[in-house]
Amino acid sequence: MDSIEAKVVLVGSQDVGKTSLVVRYVNNDFSEKVSSTVGASFFKHKINAGKHTIKLQIWDTAGEERFHSMLPMYYRGASAALLVYDVTNPKSLDDALDWINELRDNCSEHLILCLVANKMDLVEEGCDAIEEGRRLAQENDALFHQTSAKTGSGISETFVDIAKELIGLTGEETPSPNQGTVNVNETTEQKKQCC
């Protein structure tokens, strides 16, 4: 079985749900009361996809402005970035272009970028924040996904799309959305990282 290791970084403004999204993905857990990330948190997660095992090293970064100068050390060397915004907070989408530019300036030109519209449980399909996010993703050659950390909707599909981009799978070898969270051969490990 081929093994691929990939660093995936979650970035975005404060309170957009980055931590809730990654905790839902790796632990299938959600809490209304999540403390703000200090510096970054680190998770490991494996996805088995056909003849490939993708070992994700997931960095959940702080969105607070006071930690902004530290972020390049967390996303340097990243293979993929999930840029998360809150569909109920227009400023977080406005900030997304700045995040895109920062990632483009500090990461490999081959960085897989995915713009993630989070908190979909709080809005109706077709709201302006979704359509504007989709447009921003298209203009910047990024993937686009809609998620809800609260319900779990769209999260596995987001990571499966990242896996597809990482390994270039097509046809019958394409991982299913459930392989990212239900596969009995998966392991998850969480480590806290502080500034």
Rounded distance between C-alpha atoms, residue 166 and residue 13, angstroms: 25
pLDDT at 63: 55
For the chain, domains (ranges, CATH) are 2-192 (3.40.50.300)
pLDDT at 69: 61
- Which percentage of the chain shows pLDDT scores above 90? 47
pLDDT at 1: 67
**pTM confidence score:** 0.80
pLDDT at 49: 80
- Residue pair 149/85 in contact (Cβ under 8 Å)? The answer is no
Tell me which residues of the chain have a pLDDT lower than 70.
1, 29-31, 34-40, 62-71, 126, 169-195
